[in-house]
């Protein structure tokens, strides 16, 4: 592969490769990995928000990418899947957003499953709102 910014060739083995433990990736690299895996879903995109990234589906906020972790929107039905796997809600400073739960590493690594979970999170936006801290 040729890097246009450098007058030399870069071998593929010199490039960083995804690790089995996604929490070891740098935050922006993790965001890129998630975005790459979700590119097959029309309307999905990321927006930088202060220290983190917001994950959107056609303008609707469905996820948070923060500190090398992905959190997706849940409701009373989909939340149980996360709880059963020991996942926790998004927490920052003095508040917890119980509608957004951390996605397990094995789901992030499996594009097919990640797409399914993301579509479920997108469908949640059409359910009755319970407030941001429920």
Interatomic CA distance for residues 89 and 101, integer angstroms: 4
For residue 42, the model assigns a pLDDT of 92
Residue pLDDT tens, the chain, 134 long = 333 433 333 333 443 444 444 444 566 899 999 999 999 999 999 999 888 999 999 999 999 999 999 999 999 999 999 999 999 999 988 899 999 999 999 999 999 999 999 999 999 876 655 544 44
In 24-127, which ranges are continuous DSSP H helix? 27-38, 79-84, 105-109, 111-124
Are 30 and 68 spatial neighbours (Cβ–Cβ below 8 Å)?
yes
The domains located in the chain, with CATH, are 16-124 (3.30.1460.30)
For residue 12, the model assigns a pLDDT of 39
């Amino acid at each position: 592969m040729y890097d246009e910014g450098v007058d030399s060739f870069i071998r593929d083995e010199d490039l960083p490769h995804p690790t089995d433990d996604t929490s070891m990736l740098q935050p922006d690299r993790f965001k890129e990995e998630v975005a790459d895996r979700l590119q097959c879903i029309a309307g999905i995109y990321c927006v930088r928000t202060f220290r983190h990234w917001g994950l959107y589906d056609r303008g609707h906020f469905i996820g948070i990418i923060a500190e090398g972790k992905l959190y997706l929107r849940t409701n009373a039905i989909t939340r149980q899947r996360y709880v059963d796997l020991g996942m926790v809600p998004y927490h920052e400073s003095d508040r917890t957003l119980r509608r957004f739960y951390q996605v397990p590493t094995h789901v992030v690594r499996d594009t097919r499953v990640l797409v399914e979970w993301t579509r479920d999170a997108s469908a949640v936006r059409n359910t009755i709102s319970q407030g941001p801290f429920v």
